[in-house]
Amino acid sequence: MTRAIRIAPSLLSADFARLGEEVTAVIEAGADLIHFDVMDNHYVPNLTIGPLVCQAIRPHATVPIDVHLMVKPVDALIPMFAQAGAAIISFHPEASEHVDRTIQLIRSHGVKAGLVLNPATPLSVLDHVLDQLDLVLLMSVNPGFGGQSFIEGTLPKIESLRRLIDRSGRDVWLEVDGGVKVDNAQRIAAAGADTLVAGSAVFNGGAYRQAIAGIRDSAQRGQQSSKALGGPGA
């Protein structure tokens, strides 16, 4: 089965003085989602943006806002982001006292639910919750900062997760975030990812349309090559 490739530019690398314009620009350039990174200087060593900023960019976003909560504790912020316009809310299992309850809280607000796995977080955390998720986000860097290099050891983990999702028979998005660029998007998609978060690779060059198209083309080639070989990304 050929899955759609989705590109989600991360606002962490955008010009914060022109955030509404940046959102409009990347959507016009072909973005499928807007990735919205929330950091609390507690769960991760950085501090970024909150629900008011999400609400402010919502009028500019004609594609879903994909909110990634890197905060602990996480539950109190979920209703705020749902009301602010998030279409997807993802969180880290380490940030929740009760992962199942947090997933149900997200879904109770009519928002899609995702779980985020850090590079050292095992896939076994999905054993009893995959049937409730719309998205699994694999971090290919340690969370907290943009502009980091892709951790190559994430590739076999992507392959394993792709097999797990396929066995479930559910339409769960497999998102990868961290160091994604044209040079590695092909391998990431070949391993089984269908949703690629890219921050500096999109925003730092200035040519948004070219950057997004390049990542998408690379990923589609990877997906096609995997399909031809019967690999996990097929």
Burial 205-215 (b: 16+ CB within 10 A, else e): eeebeebbebb
3-state secondary structure of 42: coil
Question: From residue 195, how far is each of 16, 49, 161 by CA, in Å?
Answer: 24, 22, 13
6 near 212, Cβ under 8 Å? no
**Residue entry with tokens 């900023």:** 53
125 near 99, Cβ under 8 Å? yes
Tokens of 133: 């998720």
DSSP string, 119-167: TTS-GGGGTTTGGG-SEEEEESS-TT-SSPPP-TTHHHHHHHHHHHHHH
Catalytic residues: 37, 177
